[in-house]
Amino acid sequence: MNDFDYDALQKKRLARSDRCRKRSTRKCTLPSDYLTPSERKRRNGEMKTYNLSKPMTYAEFLTMPDDLQAQYLRSLRWRFGASDKRIAEMMGVSHPIIRKHRERLGIRITPGTRLPQTELNKEEWAAWVNGEQVSMTPLAARPEDASETDADPEGEHDPPKTEPAPVPQQTPMVTGGCFTATGSAGATAQMLAHLFEGDPREVTFTLTFAYTEVSR
């Protein structure tokens, strides 16, 4: 048997053995494929809804995740100008609890984070707390409203603005020097007189002259 016939014989054997290979028709499965619809439903988490546009108690407030708690506190401060004390009164707790909770959420008291308190804000806040329908769209802060802030125990008011002190203007004064002038004697004397004009000091100067006639 030559090499060619031997190679053909081996290929025929491989072809016959391929017919005997066991082939699986099953696909890859996961344990979840055998769950019933009711079992799959029980595995899903509970769906919760939160209404951030209505008053809530402190217990209801704690059921929300931290990001929604921070969003709720920021919206009350910017919409109604509500301080920690007012929010605590609405939730039925003391204001140090709200202050500590706010600090834990990373909400800092800085200028511009709370709408200035006005009579209109106070009336809308009282109506909103009592369950009346009030728009949650923030009002535009007016310049005349900035002075009508209510007493805040936490010192949340903006710090007063200070203007820099004016820099005093100093008048230049002659203290010494030397110069050379060319001209008539009268013009030179007038120039020396003007040199010391406007000096408020009562001092005495020593002047030394060295002059040379200029040929014409």
pLDDT in tens, 93-106: 998 999 999 999 98
Query: Does the structure show a pLDDT above 70 at 175?
Result: no
The confidence score (pLDDT) of residue 147 equals 36
The single residue listed with the structure tokens 């929300």 is 64
Could you tell me the residue ranges of all domains in the chain?
58-132
Query: Is the model more confident about 71 or about 108?
Result: 71
Residues 6 or more apart whose CB falls under 8 angstroms from that of 48 comprise 63
SS3 114: coil
The sign of the dihedral angle between the CA atoms of 84, 87, 89, 93 is negative
Amino acid, res. 125: W
